[in-house]
């Protein structure tokens, strides 16, 4: 079981991801924008962060860059969950320091499997 | 104008994907039984919803792809590509699908020894082959046969890939329209398979962007199937 932080401004998607990961046995904390995600990442030191790209107050890209620039948080893997599927956008996410870019729509079992693989890769 | 159209399609695709994620995700959760047990009718109706979401998903992806190709916004990352390795992955993926869907298909891959590398964009070459093998799988009834054959045409400086099946085939009348946008045949197996009629036009455009050629042959007789072939230029040192 891992502690996973979700940053997603769409309530239906946030609840879907949270339900799926809780069902898979993880502890889940949710936030609805990049700024809150940055604060919660510092306060809770999650094992993994799942983040939307387009969010109010601070985009996922900016939040990811800020987290990766903080030595205390830089080792936390970040996965973008986004509908933005163009090559340049995916590259921007990876350049910002994300571990992976999961394109919407994703299936819950696919999400659980990717989360398991990434946690395994980081020994969590 | 093309750029505006492409941006419009990209925005619409993005806006559609978010609600599609919610619909698909909640349907999957219900089907998994994560929100309580379901009766047979409920499982069937959820399957119907899921299949239609899948159709919508293919449509959105294909529209985005064709719009980007036509407005010149897809730039190929050309590099030496091993067609045999890509074909192995595509065949393995299709075999997994055949097992998951409990639809037995005999799938084989034959490659000429010492096959040269071709020049292409790895991801896009995979998309081309994957589309053709998926079509062969979709339009070949169970216990059918699909053969992928890769060989060099030394005279033309190309490598040729043939995807041959013994499925429903394509009527001669339909063959001329096969690469037209939104064209789909009227065979019951075609009508029962989610698709947009954009897959082959995208494949043709991608092959041509690679300076390759694509064509097909079919007698149109069910059971005699069809052969889709495409070529890609051989990689030359220093390219």
pLDDT score recorded for residue B158: 96
The band of B188, judged by pLDDT with boundaries at 50, 70 and 90, is confident
| B-proximal residues of A, 1-40, CB under 8 Å | 10, 12-13, 16-17, 19-20, 23
The answer to whether the Cβ–Cβ distance between A108 and B57 falls below 8 Å is no
To the nearest 10°, report the CA torsion of B93, B96, B98, B102: -160
Whole-number Å distance between alpha carbons of B213 and B230: 5
B239 assigned to some structural domain: no
Whole-number Å distance between alpha carbons of A113 and A118: 9
- Can you read off the two tokens belonging to residue B166? 């013994």
B238 assigned to some structural domain: no
The band of B145, judged by pLDDT with boundaries at 50, 70 and 90, is very high
The band of B63, judged by pLDDT with boundaries at 50, 70 and 90, is confident
B22 assigned to some structural domain: yes
User: Does A105 contact chain B (CB < 8 Å)?
Assistant: yes
Answer whether residue A85 shows pLDDT above 70: no
CA distance A97 to chain B (A): 22
Last residue of a domain, one of B20, B41, B70: B70
Neighbours of B62 (CB within 10 A): 20
Q: Count up the domains in chain B and report the number.
A: 2
Q: Where exactly are the structural domains of chain A?
A: 3-118
Claim to verify: residue B41 and residue B157 sit in the same structural domain: no
The answer to whether the Cβ–Cβ distance between A107 and B25 falls below 8 Å is yes
Q: Phi and psi dihedrals of B18, rounded to 5?
A: -65, -55
Q: What is the CATH number of the domain that holds B222?
A: 3.30.565.10
Claim to verify: residue B14 and residue B99 sit in the same structural domain: no
Which among B148, B94, B130 is positioned nearest to B206, based on CA atoms?
B130
User: Does A83 contact chain B (CB < 8 Å)?
Assistant: yes
The answer to whether the Cβ–Cβ distance between A105 and B64 falls below 8 Å is no
pLDDT score recorded for residue B169: 92
pLDDT score recorded for residue B1: 58
pLDDT score recorded for residue A123: 80
Burial class (CB in 10 A: 0-12, 13-18, 19+), B171: middle
Q: Give the mean pLDDT of A12-18.
A: 93
Last residue of a domain, one of B15, B35, B70: B70
Q: Chain B residues with CB inside 8 Å of A16's CB? A: 21-22, 25-26, 29
Last residue of a domain, one of B17, B39, B70: B70
pLDDT score recorded for residue A1: 87
Architecture of domain A3-118: 3-Layer(aba) Sandwich (3.40)
The answer to whether the Cβ–Cβ distance between A16 and B22 falls below 8 Å is yes
Claim to verify: residue B61 and residue B161 sit in the same structural domain: no
Q: What is the CATH number of the domain that holds B36?
A: 1.10.287
Q: Give the mean pLDDT of B150-162.
A: 95
CA distance B226 to chain A (A): 33
Q: Chain B residues with CB inside 8 Å of A109's CB? A: 28, 32
Claim to verify: residue B119 and residue B50 sit in the same structural domain: no
Question: Which residue, chain included where needed, has tokens 């220093």?
Answer: B238
- Which domain does B54 fall in, by range? 2-70
CA distance B28 to chain A (A): 7
pLDDT score recorded for residue A120: 92
pLDDT score recorded for residue B109: 96
Tell me the average pLDDT of chain B.
90
Q: Chain B residues with CB inside 8 Å of A12's CB? A: 22, 26
Q: Give the mean pLDDT of B95-99.
A: 92
Whole-number Å distance between alpha carbons of B196 and B208: 21
More confident residue, A47 or B18: A47
């Amino acid at each position: 079981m891992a502690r996973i932080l979700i940053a997603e401004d769409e309530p239906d998607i946030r609840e879907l991801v949270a339900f799926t990961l809780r069902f898979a046995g993880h502890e889940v904390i949710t936030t609805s924008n990049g700024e809150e995600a940055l604060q919660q990442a510092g306060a809770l030191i999650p094992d993994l962060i799942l983040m939307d790209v387009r969010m109010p107050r601070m985009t996922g890209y900016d939040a990811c860059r800020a987290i990766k620039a903080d030595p205390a948080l830089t080792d936390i893997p970040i996965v973008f969950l986004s509908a933005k599927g163009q090559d340049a956008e995916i590259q921007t996410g990876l350049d910002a320091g994300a571990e992976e870019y999961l394109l919407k729509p994703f299936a819950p079992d696919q999400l659980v499997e990717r989360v398991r693989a990434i946690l395994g890769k980081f020994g969590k | 104008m093309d750029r505006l159209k492409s941006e419009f399609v990209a925005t619409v695709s993005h806006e559609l994907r978010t609600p599609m994620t919610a619909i698909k995700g909640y349907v999957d959760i219900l089907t998994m039984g994560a929100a309580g047990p379901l009766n047979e009718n409920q499982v069937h109706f959820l399957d119907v919803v899921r299949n239609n979401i899948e159709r919508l998903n293919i449509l959105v992806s294909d529209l985005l792809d064709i719009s980007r190709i036509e407005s010149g916004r897809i730039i190929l990352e050309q590099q030496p590509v091993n067609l045999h390795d890509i074909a192995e992955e595509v065949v393995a993926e299709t075999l997994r699908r055949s097992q998951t869907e409990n639809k037995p298909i005999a799938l084989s891959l034959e490659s000429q020894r010492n096959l040269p590398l071709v020049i292409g964009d790895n991801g896009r070459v995979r998309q081309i082959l994957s589309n053709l093998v998926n079509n062969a799988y979709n339009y070949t009834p169970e216990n059918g046969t699909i053969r992928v054959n890769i060989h060099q045409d030394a005279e033309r400086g190309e490598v040729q890939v043939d995807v041959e099946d013994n499925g429903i085939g394509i009527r001669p009348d339909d063959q001329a329209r096969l690469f037209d946008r939104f064209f789909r045949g009227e065979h019951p197996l075609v009508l029962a398979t989610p698709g947009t009629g954009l897959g082959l036009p995208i494949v043709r455009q991608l092959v041509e962007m690679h300076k390759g050629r694509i064509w097909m042959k079919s007698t149109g007789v069910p059971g005699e199937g069809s052969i889709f072939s495409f070529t890609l230029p051989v990689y030359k040192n220093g390219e």
